[in-house]
Amino acid sequence: MLYIPHPIQYQGSKRNLAPSILTYFPKQAFRVVEPFSGTAAISVGAAALRISRRYWVNDINEPLVRLLRAIIEEPEKTAAAYRAIWNEQHGESIEHYYQVRDRFNRTKDEYLFLYLLARCVKGSVRYNSEGLFNQSPDNRRRGTTPDKMELKITGVSRLLKGKCIFSWKHYREVLEETLESDVVYMDPPYQGVCGDRDSRYYSGISARDFIKALEDLNKKGIRYLVSYDGRRGDKTFGEYLPEKLDLLRIELEAGRSSQATLLGRDEVTVESLYLSPALVSSMKQKPEDYRERAREQLGLFEHEKRYAVTP
């Protein structure tokens, strides 16, 4: 199995799903574009598979993008800065964490951010209504050790150094500059696209505006993929993207839910991946559309009001 390094822990990252998502990418692309890059897990994975030599890493969260830029373009400096901050913990690691958090919220320093991401509870990022990082430290551990962090930083840098442009623009600005030769992967704020604010994200987006953006991409013939909604057991998260977009919807198994397991339930989280018409038409073999398969099975069991489809 291909090892893909990731120095940043980030709940909601597509790090674990990246190998599955990347199977739907073309073998070669002029450029891979991530308008909602997060930790750029897809770009890192695509670089490991040599899908492209050009990447556009964008996210509205400026400190996060500046951190990614530092990791990729200045690995030695970034690793040294992390080591110095980590070594400051000594015996008062909890107090040290809150001091670093306060400093980061004042300065937005990317090196401080790396330490917070490595040390916070379950890599779960949280922001308050003022956009300030407010997650607590994990009391059971002190974060990734400097030696391990340096190895991960160096690994990512080797894959992407000199191949990226970095920005913290609104996603619409990025999409307006995309080319037919690009492949665009989008993982928009999960609850944000549904119209509700979510503390996991720096900023939400409007579902209506996002759907209009996808319509515009279809008109331009852009190849793109979108991670959008999902389900766990009988519970669904987010609404499906509308059929008028003519997207092919695939379900990807994201693994067993740790929260459900703690409650004694054996549930698997499933996420939807949508492929654009331009991307599907460029494929030699069209993937199976989950919705078509669901309709076929419903036709066989019309007497059942409820049905289940195994991805």
pLDDT of 266 over the 60 cut: no
The pLDDT value recorded for residue 168 is 97
Max Cα–Cα distance, the chain, nearest Å? 66
Average pLDDT for the chain:
84
Question: Sign of the C-alpha dihedral, residues 63, 143, 257, 259?
Answer: negative
Read off the pLDDT of residues 133-156 as tens digits, 9 standing for 90 and up.
999 998 877 889 999 999 999 999
Confidence of residue 277 (pLDDT cuts 50, 70, 90): very high
Domain map (residue ranges) of the chain: 1-239+275-289
Distance (Å, whole) CA 134 – CA 126: 6
Question: Going by CATH, does the domain composed of 1-239+275-289 fall within 3.40.50.150?
Answer: yes
Phi, psi of 309, deg, nearest 5: -120, 125
Note the pLDDT of residue 216: 98
Q: How confident is the model at residue 230 (pLDDT cuts 50, 70, 90)?
A: confident
Q: 70 versus 232: which is more confidently predicted?
A: 70
